[in-house]
Amino acid sequence: MSAPAGLDSAALARWAGAARDALEAARAEIDDLNVYPVPDGDTGTNMHLTLAAAVAELSEAPPEGASESGSLARLAHGALMGARGNSGVILSQLLRGLADGLAGTDRNVGPVELAAAFEAAARAAYDAVAVPVEGTMLTVARAAAEGARDAAGRPDAG
């Protein structure tokens, strides 16, 4: 078995840019799907604009001596500062939980560490909402965490 790859800020920037672009492409479809708590029709737009702000912050030069996991923290900070609507705030908390879950793992990020970070991200998102409701992006975050845990071969985190 090969050693886990290190957390790479260039790969993170590519991933964040691709995610931003995918949200832009799916923006109208997500806007049309949104019906909770009211059909406000802007969830896709808000998520796209939030991630665009995060990517913009990530593209700025990192502070001297910044760690690779610091790049993920900067992405989360950019998302929080540019968050639009409830969905943007939840997205920023997903990124914050991911950053917190990977803090200190710069040179040892494998499937187990990534699954734990997805679990931390889902918990952070649920904690950011006063009354979490299933069937929303929170459910998707939890399912992604469960899928990552299963793929990594980890037992239920309970």
Q: Residue 98 in contact with residue 114, Cβ under 8 Å?
A: no
In terms of residues, how long is the chain?
A: 158
Buried-exposed string 48-70: b where 16+ CB fall within 10 A, e elsewhere = bbbbbbbbebbeeeeeeeebbbb
The whole-number pLDDT of residue 5 equals: 55
The whole-number pLDDT of residue 143 equals: 96
The whole-number pLDDT of residue 3 equals: 44
The whole-angstrom separation of Cα 32 and Cα 6 is: 39
Supply the pTM of this predicted model. Answer: 0.86
The whole-number pLDDT of residue 8 equals: 75
The whole-number pLDDT of residue 76 equals: 94
Cα Rg, the chain, nearest whole Å: 16
Q: What is the mean pLDDT of each run of 10 residues along the chain (158 residues)?
A: 59 92 95 75 93 94 66 93 93 94 77 91 94 88 95 73
The whole-number pLDDT of residue 74 equals: 92
